[in-house]
Amino acid sequence: MLRFMRFAALPVVLLFCSWPVIASGALDVDGLIDPNNDDVVVGSSGVLSASVKFEQVGGNLVITLVNTSTDSDTSIDNARLLTGVFFNMSGGASLTPLTVFLTAGSSIVGDTPTTDVGGEFDYATGFNAGSASFGYGVSSAGLGIFGSPPAFLDGDSPNLDNPVEVDGPNYGLAPAAALTINGNAVFIKTGVIATLSGLGAGPYLITSVRFQYGTALDEPSITVGETPGPIPEPTSLAIWALGMVAAGFGARRMRKQK
């Protein structure tokens, strides 16, 4: 695609267009995947491990996120609590959050049993996470990205934990062996299914995934695939644009002087 662009636009293209394109098919995660299942991304680091399954069901994107750690500790801290998944996906889909439910066999520890946990999860688009940028994300913690009210909270999904926002460790995903987190947190063992609408015919390609743990971006995370660099702040873009204009003006003056 780049060879068809004017040279003057090349810095902008390189800054924002770093996702590959596939020619056909629906949702595709080839290259990042567990070879036994072509729509599952897995990641691990030490005692931490997680999986996320992407499925296209009609016009919906169905995301199954699970804390797959086999850590045998029954009392854990926030750093082993899976609180979010970020991902990049080519194809230009504009997604709308619908629901979040527990996966089969999962349960809530420390609060009233229910399967609908949408009121405790939020959705965000186009954000930075450290030195990388992501197009989409779902999380049960604020992380400086997600907030209030939770995007999955609607008339059908109850607010399970006041205040009405995603913040702190509550409703993060714990390993199967966990019994307590920081002594009193409410958590989920071990996974959730988030559904978002907005997929068309495609093609779509998941290019990178980040599993986020804890309640801050500097807590553990596992990244699978190559991620684009951070999205520049508006001030940085303005400075860059002024620099480009100045460089062009200077080159023009030099040509006139010659």
- Tens-binned pLDDT, residue by residue, of the chain (258 aa): 434 333 334 333 333 333 232 222 345 665 554 545 557 889 999 999 999 999 888 899 999 999 999 989 999 999 999 999 999 998 889 999 999 999 999 999 988 889 999 989 999 999 999 899 999 999 999 999 998 888 787 756 677 776 767 878 999 999 999 998 876 789 999 999 999 999 988 788 888 999 999 999 999 999 998 788 887 765 444 454 556 555 555 555 566 555
Cα separation, 108 vs 231, in Å, equals 36
Contact 194, 103 (CB under 8 A): no
Quote the pLDDT of residue 164.
Answer: 62
Residue 112 and residue 78: Cα distance in Å, rounded? 21
Q: How many angstroms separate the CA atoms of 231 and 133, rounded?
A: 6
Distance CA 240, CA 220 (A): 32
Handedness of CA 87, 91, 94, 99 (dihedral sign): negative
- Alpha-helix residue ranges (DSSP H) falling in the chain: 10-16, 234-257
Q: How far is CA 40 from the centre of its chain?
A: 15
The one-letter amino acid at 224: V
80 phi and psi angles, rounded to 5 deg: -110, 15
DSSP annotation of 78: G
Contact by Cβ (8 Å): 121, 142: no
Query: What pLDDT was estimated at residue 151?
Result: 79
Nearest to 69 by CA among 84, 49, 55: 49
